[in-house]
């Protein structure tokens, strides 16, 4: 790697920390991604300032041939887009070859998505369990917590790590949205439905009525853990148990599946991909493009239903 290319890479990585406050994991992931890209350029006779859009596209094909997973390639696309945008803004390059960069067609395959009926089934069962007279007050509290988690996750599409670490003030907001601190300390607003707000208030009311020490903490979902809040693993276990009761495959029902459902169902109902990107907290649209199959299906349906010669 030439000293010039290394200097550009390090300048970009320094910017990620200084201006965007990215996490240590994100920093190292981007560094690995960009060094791999630079090694590819070395083997093909190009450098960072000479690479064209075609060279970038060929690199993505190479990743596919090397057996890279879809999430890894999506992250590489995001890293390349942000890196070349940085070079363009800093006037190190006169153009941005990554502006229209898209992954190979196989990137469009998406995760298995829960149907609206399946999500509704989970929410209904979770809500019914709260009122089970055979349960103790502690068990009803746990049921109320699970229902509040599910309603909030499906209403906002936030990451499970963002959900379990919400501050308790989120349960008392009068707004139709809450502020979320996501990856790299970036903040965004997420919608909060009336059902979710009611579920959160009910859970907190039950928690405080039991006068537990945990209720005095700063987290919305407190727990006796090293972090002070409910862990992702504990939430996932409870969700899988509920999925089994609902007759759904526990293997395919997990917190991230509800985030996928949130995005897919919005797109199915006409939401714009850019809006969904903002709601999910994706730094780059390439990460959101795993959902483009939904847009493809919607466009095909529009042509079928609206085109005068479709029959």
**Contact, 197 vs 173, CB < 8 A?**
yes
34: CB partners within 8 A, 6+ apart: 9, 12, 13, 79, 80, 83
HSE (CB half, 13 Å, CA atoms) of 189? 7
195 is catalytic: no
Beta carbons of 111 and 291 less than 8 angstroms apart: no
Q: Is the pTM of this model over 0.85?
A: no
CATH of 3-108, one of 3.90.79.10, 1.10.540.10, 1.10.730.10, 1.10.150.130: 1.10.150.130
Query: Both tokens of residue 14?
Result: 């320094």
38 flagged as catalytic: no
Q: Round the CA-based radius of gyration of the chain to a whole number and report it.
A: 23
What CATH number is given for 116-297 in this structure?
Answer: 1.10.443.10
Q: Which of 31, 85, 108, 183 is catalytic?
A: 183
Whether the Cβ atoms of residue 286 and residue 103 lie closer than 8 Å to each other: yes
In this structure, what token pair is assigned to residue 306?
């609206």
Catalytic residue check, 254: no
Q: What is the pLDDT of residue 292?
A: 64
CB atoms inside a 10 Å sphere around CB 173: 14
> Pick the catalytic residue: 38, 159, 168, 265?
159
Per-residue model confidence (pLDDT) at position 109: 45
Backbone angles phi, psi at 159, to 5 degrees: -70, 150
The DSSP output letter for 92 is S
Q: Can you say whether the dihedral through the CA atoms of 48, 53, 57, 60 is positive or negative?
A: positive
pLDDT along the chain (311 residues), means of 10: 76 85 83 91 84 89 84 88 93 91 54 84 95 92 96 93 92 87 79 94 94 88 92 92 90 87 86 85 71 56 47 51
Element housing 86 (H / E): helix 70-89
* Residue tagged active-site, from 30, 147, 154, 291: 291
Q: What angle do CA 138, 141, 142 make, to 5 degrees?
A: 90
For this structure, is 28 an active site residue?
Answer: no
160 neighbors 183 (Cβ within 8 angstroms): no
Q: Which residues pair with 190 in a beta bridge?
A: 178
User: Where are the domains positioned within the chain?
Assistant: 3-108, 116-297
Q: Which tokens belong to 103?
A: 């992954």
Q: Tell me: the pLDDT tens digits for 172-181?
A: 888 888 888 8
Is 183 among the residues known to form the active site?
Answer: yes
* Eight-state DSSP code of residue 173: -
Told to judge if 159 belongs to the known catalytic residues of this protein, a careful annotator would answer yes
Q: Which of 75, 204, 259, 265 is catalytic?
A: 259
CA distance 214 to 219: 9
The span from the CA of 45 to the CA of 81, in Å, is: 21
- Specify whether the CB–CB gap between 203 and 193 falls below 8 A: no
Under 8 Å between Cβ of 47 and 5: yes
pLDDT at 286: 67
Instruction: Quote the Cα angle for 278-281-282, to 5°.
Output: 90
Q: Is residue 220 within 8 Å of 200, Cβ to Cβ? A: yes
């Amino acid at each position: 790697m030439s000293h010039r290319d290394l200097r550009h890479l390090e300048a970009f990585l320094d910017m990620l920390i200084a201006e965007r406050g990215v996490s240590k994991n994100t920093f190292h992931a981007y560094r690995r991604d960009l060094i791999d890209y630079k090694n590819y350029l070395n083997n093909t006779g190009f450098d960072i300032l000479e690479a064209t859009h075609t060279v970038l596209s060929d690199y993505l094909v190479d990743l596919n041939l090397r057996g890279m997973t879809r999430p890894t390639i999506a992250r590489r696309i995001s890293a390349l887009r942000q890196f070349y945008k940085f070079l363009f803004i800093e006037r190190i390059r006169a153009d941005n070859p990554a502006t229209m960069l898209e992954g190979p067609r196989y990137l469009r395959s998406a995760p298995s998505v829960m149907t609206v009926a399946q999500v509704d089934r989970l929410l209904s069962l979770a809500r019914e369990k709260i009122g089970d007279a055979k349960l103790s007050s502690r068990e009803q509290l746990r049921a109320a917590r699970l229902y509040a988690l599910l309603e909030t996750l499906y209403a906002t599409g936030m990451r499970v790590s963002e959900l379990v670490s919400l501050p308790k003030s989120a349960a008392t907001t009068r707004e139709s949205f809450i502020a979320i601190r996501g990856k790299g300390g970036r903040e965004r607003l997420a919608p909060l439905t009336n059902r979710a707000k009611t579920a959160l208030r009910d859970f907190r009311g039950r928690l405080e009525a039991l006068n537990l020490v945990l209720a005095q903490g700063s987290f919305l979902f407190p727990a006796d853990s090293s972090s002070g809040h409910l862990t992702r693993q504990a939430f996932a276990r409870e969700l899988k148990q509920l999925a089994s009761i609902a007759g759904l495959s526990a293997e395919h029902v997990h917190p991230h599946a509800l985030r996928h459902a949130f995005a897919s169902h919005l797109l199915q109902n006409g939401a714009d991909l850019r809006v969904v990107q903002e709601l999910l907290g994706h730094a780059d649209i390439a990460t959101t493009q795993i959902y483009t199959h939904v847009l493809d299906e919607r466009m095909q349906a529009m042509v079928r239903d609206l085109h005068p010669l479709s029959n």
